[in-house]
Chain A
Amino acid sequence: MMSDMGQVFGHWNVYLVIFLMMLGFYTLIARGNMVKKMVGLNVFQTSVFILYISMGKIDNSTAPILTDNPLAIYANPLPHVLILTAIVVGVATTALGYALIIRIYENFGTIEDHELVDFMEDEENTL
Chain B
Amino acid sequence: MHDDPVVRIVAKVLIPSIMLFAFYVQFHGDFGPGGGFQAGVIFASAFILHAIIFGLNRTRHVWAFRPNLAVLCVGVLLYGGTGILGMLGGGNFLNYNVLGDTPQAGQHLGILLVELGVGMSVAASMVMLFFAFAGRATHNRFLSSKERNDE
Contact surface of A with B, Cβ cutoff 8 Å: 63, 65, 84-85, 87-88, 92, 95, 98-99, 102
Contacts and interface: CB of A to CB of B under 8 A. Distances in A.
Interface of B: 31-33, 35, 37, 41, 122, 125, 129, 132-133, 136
A65 B32 contact: yes
B91 to A, nearest CB: 22
A35 B125 CA distance: 22
A114 B114 CA distance: 46
Nearest to B132: A99
A102 B129 contact: no
Contacts of B31: 65
11 contacts: A65-B33, A84-B35, A84-B37, A85-B37, A88-B41, A92-B125, A95-B129, A95-B133, A99-B132, A99-B133, A102-B136
Contacts of B37: 84-85, 87-88
Nearest to B118: A88
B132 A63 contact: no
A74 to B, nearest CB: 14
A98 B133 contact: yes
B25 to A, nearest CB: 13
A75 B41 CA distance: 25
Nearest to A106: B140
A65 B41 CA distance: 22
A99 B129 CA distance: 9
Nearest to A63: B33
Contacts of A92: 125
